[in-house]
Chain A
């Protein structure tokens, strides 16, 4: 009654791994979930949106990779300090919201003198902010030299919230289909 060595070895390997696997079951088990996500609630106030927008600028939006706030000198991309003032006056008859929207959805529309075009589209991958998130970014941009006025119900040339008023006349034709129209489900990096 001799068991072949190969079977014994296989048995030993099996028993050893099973033993360590068993040791692993004895210790406390805890699944670590990724950090909680803040959800863009439908009832966010403008102040909330500014906060989220600021986080988006640094995080998911990657804006601060190129842009600066309050820096001067030899810059490769426009500084954003006081940008709301400039946005509201640059194109006569165009509100700052529309200006920002156009800059974000169609980045090469306005090129500040002295800079080269090079800004990626924000609402498409790889950055891919949702329309609501872009509204938050606009809210944040408005604080740079202005007063934030947008809400999640604000519509502009590129985006009309569900049930919201249609875009202001004279805006650019809509070429971005709102894909995510349920604000409650749009997660945002905190």
Chain B
């Protein structure tokens, strides 16, 4: 995968977030503060713009630029968390003399690093009803696909459906991190907005891949 693929990915995320903006906001209204849709729309819109303004030459630099843009434009909890995810993913792809192509295995490693960044910063574990509940199974699915020697399309579809299943699995959970935790038991019965947006991010990998093929 090259910077063109990753640029398509980010654009696809921005499109999906814009399309699902109201749903994300409504999920956040139920157990948070009703800004998740606006937050990510602002952030990924800015990221698309940043990539257009000054297209990075290498995949690592590209993801770092996306991460930095999210951090500097989103705010809230999701800004630093997703920002760190992309920044750490970019860092894992190397910081100097970077390759212009990354393999599926590279990407899996990068996203693992991104996930680690999120859990380091937010200290959420799976089951806490956060984006991690979609992020972690998606990364695992990607890693499994790599081990099994799967192709990109197959790997991305596995990751996307794992993320989606992870997001849906947050519905019955009682939140232990983020704003939803203030509700205690009342947080059960609602999908976590960050997990829902994370599923969109992984779904966008498939779209970017199709655009590629």
Do A and B come together as binding partners? Answer: no
